[in-house]
A and B are shown apart, each in its own frame.
Chain A
Amino acid sequence: MGMAFSSLWNSLFGQKELKICILGLDNAGKTTLTYRMKLGSVIASAPTIGSTVEEFEYKNLKFILFDVGGQTSLRASWSTYLASTNAVIFVIDSTDRARTQLARQELHRVAADEQVSKAPILVFANKQDVMGSMTPAEVSDSLALTTLPVSWHIQGCSALTGKGINDGLDWLAGKLGASS
């Protein structure tokens, strides 16, 4: 009851806070993307050990981004971050053809987690600025997105140039705004 009231209150007077996990293999561009969304610029980053949390506002939504490291042993901890998450952003390095199968496994493992059964998954095919990178359609095929059990959307983007990011966020905002 309290929850319902709180939710109603927020929808009327406050910004909605949404927890979003940003996942993906190491060196996919998660941290760069996080700071591109938050700051609108590129920062030099080093591999994320553990996770970082950033907040930023998009339209009338307040996103709380959990940027989690993607190294092999850090992936085991992803499920702990997925508790009560509103959405997942899964970042793919579109230039890394050698690891698309691994990315597919990890993505499907995340999507199978019951904690995200109601959370939409936005797949960013990152690094589209690099010549010869896979197109979003190619990424979609290699990730077998059509077999995902949840609502998903793929968006090509470049965290370096910022291109495509807002398109993806628009989809996410539409999904999350409509879901409550």
Chain B
Amino acid sequence: MSRVSQSKAQTEANAKILRALVKQPDNKMCADCKRNDPRWASWNLGCFLCIRCSGIHRSMGTHISKVKSIDLDIWTPEQMASIQAWGNKRANTYWEAHLKAGHAPPEHKVEAFIRSKYDSRRWAKEGPLPNDPSVLDGPGATPSAPVPTASSSTSRSAAAAPPPKVSAIDLLGGDPSPAPASTSTSKVASNAQLNNFLDDGPPPASKVRSLANVSPTPPSALHSSAPRKASGGGGGLFDLDWNDPIPAATSPTSPGTGVASTTANIKADILSLFSAPRAAQSTAAVSPSTARNNINGTFGGLTPSFGRLDLGSSTTAPPPPAGADPWAAVPAGQQSNGSHDSIWGDMTSGMAAPAKAGTGGTAPQKDAFADIWGDFK
């Protein structure tokens, strides 16, 4: 057995490497709860964990995660190679590809989060684990890659939204050709808002990288991601925001979860609907014709509620430039609502609040949408 026959010098060298690895900034915090001092690691997943999360990893079974202690275990060369090739950053680039960078689950949801992350692959990048994890940070190594200005404005606007990756997939997957003119004009219309948003948001470099990671994905991979989005319950673009309400809905301990989840669905519909009419009317949006906007809001609310299914189930359904537009325009629309910054800025706290409010009944829900409606009145 290599573990036993391994020389003492080799074992000590490995221990030294591990201690050095865990001191690196990316590995200094637990890959899952983003807290604590990780003294454990999953060598097949290649990430460093705190003891609590390591317990949850072990409970998922060794077919998912093989946990070892940095201090108490002897590592084999194979295990060393894996943990050195991966590390927290690359592991999360893969496993949290569709999650905001640095997302930390709330304390009481850590187990559900970890199971969703690895067992259900909820936020994982499409495709199998790469044999060489260094490909994961390939495009990210050059964030200032030479991109044409037009498409760079697209990437900026798409990247501006905290749930950018899904929207980017829809955008690019639905319309692989260069961004049409109408798209960019709508961008210009909401440029000021976008700039605001960008200022508030996380450093754009990482966002651009994430977009760059997504863009070369072949259409087939995009299709495979579609059913997952549909099953997410929130639908497409809003997947990210529902990651808090949905585990809550599945957890048997939280009361009134049914209401919470339906609220989430209703909200997903409403939000996705509003972005559509706004974007379609991006030029008209400048004129303050309130009646017209109202009508758009009402009817737009119906069509996309059915149309959303199409978006989720087949990205091949011909989404014309205007179809791609709404997704890109969502951040702008959201930003104009002001009070909904928190939804996009911090999905943990931002979403937890409306979900809880939703359990109270319809009144809080109305409040939650007052700002949105206000825009169309």
Chain A interface (Cβ within 8 Å of chain B)?
26-27, 44-47, 49, 69, 71-74, 93, 95-96, 98, 101-102, 105, 127, 130
Contacts and interface: CB of A to CB of B under 8 A. Distances in A.
A105 B54 contact: no
Contacts of B298: none
B56 A44 contact: yes
Given A69-B72, A71-B72, A72-B74, A47 B58 contact: yes
Contacts, number: 54
A144 to B, nearest CB: 14
**Chain A interface SS verdict (over half):** loop
Contacts of B69: 26, 47, 71
Nearest to A31: B55
Nearest to B65: A27
A93 B67 CA distance: 13
Nearest to B56: A44
Interface string B67-86: 11101111000000000000
A105 B4 contact: yes
Contact of A44 (B1, B55, B72): B55
B61 A130 contact: yes
A44 B4 CA distance: 30
Contacts of A93: 62
B61 A95 contact: yes
Given A71-B73, A74-B72, A96-B62, A47 B4 contact: no
B51 A47 contact: yes
B73 A27 contact: no
Query: Which 5 interchain pairs have the tightest Cβ spacing?
Result: A46-B55, A71-B72, A72-B74, A72-B73, A27-B58
B64 to A, nearest CB: 11
A73 B74 contact: yes
A46 B67 CA distance: 11
Contacts of B68: 26, 71
26 contacts: A26-B67, A26-B69, A26-B73, A27-B58, A27-B67, A44-B55, A44-B56, A44-B111, A47-B54, A47-B58, A47-B67, A49-B72, A69-B72, A71-B68, A71-B69, A71-B72, A71-B73, A72-B72, A72-B73, A72-B74, A73-B71, A73-B73, A74-B72, A95-B62, A101-B1, A130-B61
A74 B59 CA distance: 20
Contacts of B3: 72, 102
B63 A46 contact: no
Contacts of B51: 46-47, 49
Nearest to B67: A27
A143 B63 CA distance: 21
A41 to B, nearest CB: 14
A26 B54 CA distance: 12
Nearest to A98: B62
